[in-house]
Amino acid sequence: MTIGSVDSLDDLAAKVDEEFGSHRQSNQFKNISLVIDTSSSDHPTLIVHVDGDGASSLADDVEEFLLTGDNVYTQREHHSETDVRVLATIE
């Protein structure tokens, strides 16, 4: 794993937080949670966990936003109608 890739994901997470901050209010339920998974040394991953009513639609918006970045690739995990994860890596 390179420090640059983790730093790039950290920057990407900050942009997601800025864009979707209204869904991350600290004093109420968070519809969006952000985690950087560094367990894979080759491909650290930004995990955007979208939860609650309208999760699929909000995940669409998050994924569209992520794909505006350079060399960002996404994948989705659907755990239920109200539980969607958007995984992002930077190549």
Q: Which of 2, 4, 11 is nearest to 46 (CA)?
A: 11
Exposure class string for 36-54: b at 16+ Cβ within 10 A, else e: eeeeeeeebbbbbbbbeee
Number of structural domains found in the chain = 1
What local confidence, expressed as pLDDT, does residue 45 receive?
Answer: 94
Look up the CATH number of the domain holding residue 64. Answer: 3.90.1070
Low-confidence ranges of the chain (pLDDT < 50): 1-2
How do residues 34-44 score in pLDDT, each as one tens digit?
999 988 877 89
Name 37's bridge partners.
45
Q: Which helix (H) or strand (E) holds 70?
A: none
Distance CA 82, CA 56 (A): 7
Domain of 43 in residue numbering reads as: 3-90
What local confidence, expressed as pLDDT, does residue 42 receive?
Answer: 79
